[in-house]
Every structure is written in C-alpha cells, then in structure tokens.
Structure 1
Amino acid sequence: MAYIISVNAAILTDSGGPCTVHDCTPVPGNSTVAPGPECMVGMSNPGYQQCLARTKSDLVVATAVAAMAASFAMGALANLPLALAPGMGANAYFAYNMVGFHGSGSIPYRTALAGVMLEGIVFFALSAVGLRSKLARLIPRNIRLASAVGIGLFLAFTGLQANQGLGLVGASPTTLVTLTACSETDPVTGACLGGTLHSPTFWLGAAGFLLTATCLARDVKGGMIYGIVFVTAVSWIRGTSVTVFPDTPAGNAGFSYFKKIVDFHTIESTAGQLSFGGFRHGNVWLAMLTLLYVDVLDTTSTMYSMAEYGGFTDGAGGFEGEYRAFLVDAGSTVLSAALGSTTVTTYIESTAGIREGGRTGLTAITVSACFLASLFFSPLLMSVPPWAVGPSLVLVGAMMMRVAKDIEWGDMKEAIPSFVTMALMPLTFSIANGIIAGLGVYVALHWYDWANHACGRVGKALDDRRNQVAAATAEVGPAQDV
C-alpha cells in the first residue's frame, strides 16, 4: 500500500488544492498588474508552482496520517487485519469532477472538502444504525459491479494522460483524444506539437509499467511499489532528459528539499480548509451523494470480500467485529477530510497480510506503524514524478476489471445498463455521469416487468379477498337456514 501516499497526493494536487490566482506571482516587469486566471494554466507561474509544491507536501502527510490512524483504529478497535487509506476512485472524482483540474470545476476546493466531511458523517450515522449494508443491497448487483469496472477504466485513462501519468494519451482537435507521448506539447492544451512517441519520460514510465506488471503477474510481494521505485530513482538523476529536477528555479528548489531526505513536514495549507457556504447549490449535494454511493459500494463490498477471503464470516455472511469495523471506516473519512484528503476505504491489498497469516488487528497496527515511519520521508515522497505514478493507476484499473466476469452479459436487461455505466465514466470523465446513466437505463428496461409484477400482486390480493368474502358468505347462508 506504500504507493497510495504519492499517488493520492499527486491526484489531489491536480485539483489545485487551496491554491488560487492570488498565489500567482505578478506579471514580470509590471508588478502593478494583478495576475489573471491564465497564471494557473500550464503551471508555469513561480508563485503558483510554490503553492502547488506546498500543497503536495501537505497532502503527502495528510494521506499518511489518515491511513495510519484508520489502520490503527481498525486493528485496535475491531481486531481485524484490514488496512485502510484514502481510496482510489473517490480521489479522482474529487480532483477531476468536483473541484476540476486546477479549480476548473464547479465546486471550490474548500466546499468540496466540506462535502467529503459531511458524507463521512452521514456514512457514520448509516453505519451506527445498521443501514449501511441494507443501502448497498438497494443498488442492482450488476450496476454495482459495472461501477467498479467503470472506476477502473476512469483511473486507467487518468494514468495514461500527461498531467498525472504516462502521457501516452493527449488532446486532439479532430478526434478529441489521440496517441501522443510527444517530445514537445502545447503547455495550455496538451496537444502534441511534434515527436509522437519520442518522449523520454514516457519510455521510462513504460519500463516501470512492465516491471510492475511482471511482478504482479508472478505474484511478487509488494510488486506494485517496485516500478514506482525504479522510475523515481532514475528520475532523481539530474542532467538527464527524464529528470524530475530540471535546471529551473522550481527544479532547483525541489532538489534542495529532496537532499534533506529526512524531514517531518507539518500540514500548512490543507488541514481545516472547510467551507459549508456553497451547500445551497444542487451540484454540491449531487457530488456528495455520488461520494456516498461510491463509499457504500466500495468499502462495504471490499470489507465483506476481505472477511470472506480470511475465513472470518459466519453462516449468515457477517463477521465478528463487523459493526465496529464499519464505524472505524466511516469515522476515518471525517478525519481525512479534516486533513484535506478524501474518503477512506478498506484496501484490497489487505489480502497480502491475510495470505501471510494475519488474522488479528496486529496486522493492521503493523501497517499503521509503516505509515507512521513514512511521515519522516516527505522529501523523497514529494519527488515521485507523474510518469512513475501513471503506471500504477493503469494497473489498479486493470485489477478492477476482474469483476466484469460476474456481470450477467447474457441478459440484455442487465448487460446494457452495465455497459452504459462502464463506458460513460471514462468517456465523460465523470463517475457520477456513469452511475446516473446506468441506473436510468436500468429503470427504463425494467419498469414494464416491475409494473406487471405489481399488477399481478394486486390482482392476486383482490382474488384472495373475493375468495374470503365468498367463503364467509357461504358459511353464513346455511346457518340462517337452520
């Protein structure tokens, strides 16, 4: 799970965090001219770059603290070998749909964080009264499965783009997206200006992808982290075409911080950045409901899967410590939002500890200790480049594809809504759009069957009532004759 620290911080930094146009350096040569929104485009403004670097450092710490606290609570209170951390999927939805790339979305960063906290409180309340699992069962099974697949495709698509990945996919004025990995790109649009597949960082990232994929295919322990470490280590070498520390003011500042190696960074800008003033707008509530939906399905299904994998379940499908585990999971989201991060979930990587014999909360507490240790290595974690993170996003997406086999593809009433859900998430770059469209198509294809079933039940009830009246009349008639 070590990869989540740098990956989550990188994705959330793409939202711009608390950084705004006010953090930009004034126009060179004319300090009286206030910078406009264009200063955030291309992330070339020195002042804005410094704010992003500070935000990323804060989010590295926030991710590690949230994972540390959540995993420790799971082990100490629920006594289960389940590790938790800010979840993939929810972080991408937060960064690219709610807040938008560098604040280009419809919800400000502080309002979005308040939405995450409120979602965590609602989730905690649902868990406390026992409605969590019942709510998950209301969603059709195939839509639940398709949502997981769609989120996987969404993450993979993110990992293939330049801003937070390999840079293999970029913008095209004719086909919208196209093959890039170019040696030169437009800093504003990201469109290729020449040298397709000539990007050195792409080929380094591709090598890391193959290394990680090979480790996963051979079931190597900790396989996900090896590709990130390899690509990052090569990118630390200055004076190369793939360095993450170019000979620029920002590159020099990054290298100076990197040389510290050990540094305990305190959160400066993301903690407590909550604003509940924007909740009068409907899009905030829609986003919060989407987060709640993803949280209910993701964490609940993962937790039950891990319990079943470890043999903790009873005959009814429940497991010991279930109630406290749900409360820990939901409560951790509230803490995560307070630190500036997104919803916390139980990680499928918990199977690694269970497979090695972990059966108690000591496993989760050990994971918590590892996250605690990572807090002292912020300079190293801050220096992980996008082309090291991208392959992990693609491979996480690949692993989420496994549930597609459980969708009932032979039944068109189930297959079509599932496909719509999966397709629209990456194609509209919105998890919410995929969920809403899938549920809408599902209702449209099933309403006639539901109406027939309801009419049949009403008709049967009326027939039963008539039969009861007739029987009562038949009994009264002979009695009067006598």
Structure 2
Amino acid sequence: MEKFFKLRENGTTVTTEILAGITIFLSMAYILFVNPSILVTAMAPGAEVGSDVYTQYFGAVMVATIFGAAAATLVMGLYANYPFALAPGMGLNAYFTYTVVLKMGIPWQVALGAIFVEGLVFILLTASGARSFVVKAIPQNIKFATSAGIGLFIAFIGMKNASIIVANPATFVGLGDLTDPNALVAIIGLIITAVLFALRVPGSILLGIIISTIIGAFPIFGVTHYQGIIGKIPDISPTFMKLQLSWGDLVSGSFWVVVLTFFFVDFFDTLGTLTGLAQSAGFIKDGEDFPRSNRAYMADAIGTSVGALFGTSTVTTYIESETGIAQGGRTGLTSVTVAVLMLLMLFFSPLGLTIPAAATAPALIFVGSLMLKNLTKIRWEDTTEAVPAFITIIMMPLTYSIANGIALGLIAYPLVKVLSGKGKEIHWLNWVLAIAFVYYLIYLQH
C-alpha cells in the first residue's frame, strides 16, 4: 500500500488517508439521495412521492448514482492517485431534468445517450492531451481566483443547506432565522470544527460532522432522525442500459445542442474544480499543471460515460473533496476509501440518511474559509489581473456555478488586457475561450 500510493512521499499515513476519505464521503453523501429526487422527476413525471413508480425509479437512480460515483472515484484513486471524489454533478442533473427532458421534450433515455456521447468526447480529448493544453493556457491569477471562488461557493452551499442563508424576495438572499434548529446545529458544529482544527486534533472535520449529528439528535434541536442501519438493495433495472442512441438522434441538431451544453459545463466545471483542489493541496508548482492531470481528467470522462450506462446524469469531480484535503488526504487511498463507502451504501443507505445537512454544513463552511488563502497570491496591484480574478471569484457563488465564474472571468481577462495596452500578454487560446464562452452564455446556457 505504501509503495502503490506513495504515502511517505506525499507526507501522509494510512490512518490520515482513511479519515480524509470518510470526511469527504460524509460531506457528499447527500448526492446519493438528492440526485434521485431530481432525476425521478424526468423519468417518472407526475409520480407522487411514496408511490410504487416513484419508489422504483428513485431506488434505481440511487443505485446508478452509487455505481457511477464509485467507478469514477476508483479510477481517480487507483489510476491518477489523487484524493478527489466524483459523483453526478448538481446543476447538471437539474439541466438534465428541467431543461432537456421537461422543457425540450427529449426522452430521458435519449438524454442519457447524449451524456454517454459527451463522455466519449471527453475521453478522446483527454487522451489527446487537449485538456492539459487548455489548463496551461489559463492565466495563473485566474487559477488562484478559481480556488478562492470555489471556497466561497461551497461555504455558500453549506450556509444554504443549514438555513443560515435563505431566499429573500426583496434582496434575493438574506439571513435566515438563527434560532432555527438547523442553523443552530450548523453554527455550533462550525465552532467545534474550528476549535478542533486549531488544536490540531486528528480528524477534526470528521469529528465535527459526527458531533454535529449527535447534537442534532437532542430533543431541543430534533434535526437528526435515526433511519436504521441496513436496508434492501433497490432494483437498478429501470435505468440500467436504458440509454438510447439512434441515427436519427445523431443527426438531430437539438441532440448535439444537448451534448455540447453538457460538454461545455462539465469540461470547465471539472477543470475549475480540479485546478482549485490541486492548488489547495499544493500539487501545482510555479503555475504549471499538476502532475498526472490527464489521468485525473480521464477519471471524470470515464465516470460520465459509465454513469450514463447505469442511468444517471453527468459525473464530475466534487468540490467537497476539499474537506478531505483539509483533513490531510493527499493520495488515491483517500479516493478508494470514498468509493468503498459509496458501495457500502448499497447495504447501509438508511444510515447515510441519518446524517442531516446541518451536520455536514459546518465542514463545507469551514473548508470554504481555508480555500480563501489563495487570495493572497493574486496580483491585486495589477488591475488587468485583479478585475478578471474578482469576477471569477464573485460570480461562482452568485450564479451558483463554477463554470459560469470561469467563463465570465476568461471573457473579462482578454478584454481588460487589450484595452489597457497589454494585448501581448494574452495567449491566443484566451481569445478562443472568450468567444466560445460568449456563445455559451448567450445561446446554450438556458
């Protein structure tokens, strides 16, 4: 194990890696239940919650989510040797359901076929080295901004999950009721996590999640509900190998619009997430791409196609992986741990349902604060670097999309540079990306 994962070389231990894996798993376990709740709307429209049809598809998508996530994460751990976990992406599953299937009227089986094709395109681009070329062309300050923006984004998600931040019709967002049990548990958990981390207690973030779960069980809070331990494995047959690809689909313009949109969002969402995580973990040196990056991208590409075969939307790298990095995870053993825990959820899904969002929210908020350290590396004294970086950072949480933040930042970068008389500093690919992003934001996003 030491030789395969190079634990000593990466300054870590088996215990640290396993704790990091458990932490990541607990932080992202929600997707096992949130993803089915979104996709079932597309696969069984009109089915009432609790009905036989709803339960059948919900269970099938949950198993598909587990297999898709576990397969991709194992590739990341065993092939790329990085502590990054993957699963069906939030946002992409909503696009699948509400735009592609319900709005455009494309059957969900055909939509899965589009995702499968997108994954194959990813595999080809990764094998050719095109993805790494794009990463190297992105300005260094945009990379630092990406990491910080992801930090704000996951902190925002954590606060939203805990009802600390809520929707407000007058101001879009506002402060929630801090006497709400979910908010109280999250706030207490955040303080506990921060103190444990400051005292250098091993497994501090994981302990924060466990302690928050226990606190949430007290009657005065009542946010933790014991769901049991072992449950029956749902039947995956309703979604397994149900994707459809016909010649009519392949020559259809609407089909390729769907493929292109999935591709665009997944490509830059993954690029931003992996760059941010690698930056945070210290894998990126002197502005270069991180080692074995093609292998990491390949895990994402393979996961997308495999996930479509099982019956789930696009698989992508999860920003919650930062919780494991903060816990000390540095090798693929962390990812393998996450994958094993994912597969165990086939048998222990009720146990996963026991951990409330209020207990994982503190981990997301705390880790978000750690990721802001890269703000100090941005050249704020140079306006032509600072403004695009700021746009990248602020637009991630405000648009609820990593891809949108990168898109707007990379559009602003060449414009500000060339209008300031610094056009020679612009890589030609920056112009290509800027034009592509303008097209994406105008014609493909909605």
Fold conserved (TM > 0.5)? yes
Residue of structure 2 aligned with 1:9, choices 21, 32, 51: 32
Structure 1 residues 369 and 440, CA gap change in structure 2 (3 angstroms): closer
Deviations 1:437-474 (A, max 9, x none): 222221211234678649xxxxxxxxxxxxxxxxxxxx
Matches of 2:79 and 2:194 in 1, distance apart? Answer: 36
Q: Which residue of 2 aligns with 1:85?
A: 85
Q: CA 1:55–1:427 in 2, change beyond 3 Å: closer, same or farther?
A: farther
Kindly provide the amino acid, as one letter, of the partner of residue 242 in structure 1. Answer: G
1:212 correspondence with 2:181? no
Give the % identical residues: 28
Residue number in structure 2 paired with 1:471: none
Which segment is superposed worse, 366-375 or 269-278?
Answer: 269-278
What secondary structure does 2:166 align onto? strand
Q: Give the Cα–Cα distance (whole angstroms) in 1 for the partners of residues 361 and 290 of structure 2.
A: 37
Report if the CA contact (8 A) 1:6-1:60 is conserved: no
Determine the structure 1 residue equivalent to 2:153: 154
| Stretch moving more, 425-434 or 373-382 | 425-434
Q: Aligned partners of 2:423, 2:62: CA distance in 1, in Å?
A: 54
**Higher mean displacement: 391-400 or 363-372:** 363-372
**Hey, what does 2:364 align to over in structure 1?**
393
TM-score by length of 2: 0.70
Q: Is the 8 A contact 2:151 2:372 kept in 1?
A: yes
Q: Give, in angstroms, the shift of residue 273 of structure 1.
A: 6.3
How do 1:330-349 and structure 2 match up within 5 A?
330-339=301-310, 340=312, 342-345=314-317, 347-348=321-322, 349=324
Q: Which residue of 1 aligns with 2:405?
A: 434
Structure 1 residue identity aligned to 2:25: A
Amino acid at match of 2:365: V
Are the counterparts in 1 of residues 165 and 175 from structure 2 also a CA contact under 8 Å? yes
CA distance in structure 1 between the aligned counterparts of 2:38 and 2:202, rounded to whole angstroms: 32
Match of 2:165 in 1: 169
Q: Determine which of 218, 222, 226 is the counterpart of 1:242.
A: 222
Show CA shifts across 1:324-383 (max 9, x none). Answer: 55534532332234442543438453686766xx6xx66765664454444431111123
Cα–Cα, structure 1 residues 440 and 400, in superposed 2: closer, same or farther, change >3 Å?
Answer: same
Give the CA RMSD over aligned residues: 4.3
**Compared CA separation, residues 306 and 390, structure 1 to 2 (3 A):** closer
- Give 1:59 deviation, angstroms: 6.0
Structure 2 residue aligned with 1:286:
261
Indicate if the aligned counterparts of 1:6 and 1:389 stay in contact, CA closer than 8 A. Answer: no
Superposed, 1:341-360 pairs within 5 Å as 342-345=314-317, 347-348=321-322, 349=324
- Give the 3-state SS of the residue equivalent to 1:177 in structure 2: strand
Q: Distance in 2 between matches of 1:325 and 1:95?
A: 22
Aligned residues: 390
Show the counterpart of 2:119: 120
Cα distance, 1:408 vs structure 2: 1.5
Once the two structures are superposed, what CA deviation does each residue of 1:415-450 show, in whole Å capped at 9, x if it has no partner?
111111222222233444333322222121123467
Give the whole-Å Cα distance in 1 for the aligned partners of 2:198 and 2:105: 40
Shift of 1:412: 0.3
Deviations 1:166-191 (A, max 9, x none): 1112222322222122xxxxxxxxxx
1:151 partner letter: I
Q: What TM-score, normalized by structure 1, do the two folds share?
A: 0.65
Instruction: Give the SS at the match of 2:195.
Output: helix
Report if aligned partners of 1:336, 1:342 keep a CA contact under 8 Å in 2. Answer: yes
**1:2 positional shift:** 2.3
- Comparing 293-302 and 202-211, the one that deviates more: 293-302
**Which residue is 2:21 aligned to?**
none
Using the alignment, how far apart are the partners of 1:12 and 1:336 within structure 2? 12
Q: Which moves more between the two structures, 204-213 or 64-73?
A: 64-73
Instruction: Select which of 376, 386, 408 maps to 1:405.
Output: 376
The higher radius of gyration belongs to 1
1:201 maps to 182
Output the CA distance in 2 between the equivalents of 1:107 and 1:217. 52
Quote the Cα distance in structure 2 between the aligned partners of 1:172 and 1:364.
38
Distance 1:56 1:234 in 2: 30
Note closer, same or farther for the CA distance 1:127–1:381 as it changes in structure 2 (3 Å cut).
same
Matched, 1:447 2:427: no
* Residue-by-residue CA offset, 1:152-206 (whole Å, 9 max, x unaligned): 3233222222xxx11112222322222122xxxxxxxxxxxxxxx3312321222
Contact 1:7 1:389 in 2 (8 A): no
> CA 1:59 to 1:126, structure 2 compared with 1: closer, same or farther past 3 Å?
same
Q: Structure 1 304/124 Cα, relative in aligned 2: closer, same or farther at 3 Å? A: farther
Partners of 1:92 and 1:155 within 8 A in 2: no
The SS at the match of 1:178 is strand
Secondary structure class of the residue paired with 2:379: coil
Residue 10 of structure 1: CA displacement? 5.0
Deviation at 1:414, TM superposition (A): 0.9
Instruction: Measure, in 2, the Cα distance between the counterparts of 1:322 and 1:439.
Output: 21
> Match of 1:333, SS?
helix
Aligned mates of 1:452, 1:260 — CA distance in 2 = 61
Q: Which runs of 5+ in 1 are unaligned?
A: 26-44, 182-196, 246-254, 455-482
Q: Does the 8 A contact of 1:61 with 1:265 survive in 2?
A: yes
Matches within 5 A, 1:361-380: 365=336, 368-380=339-351
